[in-house]
Amino acid sequence: MKNQKYITLWLCGICILIYLVQVIVPGVTGTFMLTPNAISQPWQFLTAIFLHGSITHLFYNLFALFLFGLMLEGIIGSKNFLWLFIISGIFANIVSFYWYPNALGASGAIMAVIGTLAVLRPGMTVWAFNLPMPMFIAAIVWVGADILGVFGLGDPSVGHLAHVSGIFFGIFYGIYLRLKYPQRNISIPRNKIVIQEDAMRRWENNNLR
């Protein structure tokens, strides 16, 4: 943690600045969000991560990124965290490309952060869904809800498949870290993270990915 450079805060700031550009400059969102033109404009797989559809979408994505991102960055280091965020976001957008007509937002990358935390800090107490539960249980519930959404049992405006692909990317990355660094202290901590249910529900319901 001593080498933490607070990349999470930089990412939040970048998303805010880019959203301001979206509001001020016409055509920016349509040019850089994920569209069927991504094959000929491959930068969209990256740029779509930092775009948001509304101020509410931005706020709740940053809420989740700040909450979980700072914690994971302190565990795996800033460089690893940045690569996880970027690569998982691109991966989620590649999956989205074959499923949705267009997409934007950081939720695929954020779900990867959650998935990695669920592996590295499985017993961390999270207050979610109005109940205290271990982090890995909360992640299972979120995955289950998004899998139902993939099959049409959720909000059609939410990119449930992007969420699922992101969290599984994070789970596999967390497993990789556990196998590569078995000697490091990644045991269950005693700290508790309180996630208000209404805040998390609004994050999920306002996620336009």
Q: Crossing angle, helix 160-180 and helix 135-150, to 10 degrees?
A: 140
Q: How many CB atoms lie within 10 A of CB 61?
A: 23
Cα-Cα-Cα-Cα dihedral sign, residues 11, 162, 94, 120:
positive
Per-residue pLDDT of the chain (209 residues; tens, 9 = 90+): 446 689 999 999 999 999 999 999 999 999 999 999 999 999 999 999 999 999 988 998 999 899 899 999 999 999 999 999 999 999 999 999 998 889 999 999 999 999 999 999 998 888 777 788 898 998 888 888 888 877 777 666 677 888 999 999 999 999 999 998 775 555 434 444 555 445 555 555 555 34
Helix (H) or strand (E) holding 47: helix 44-47
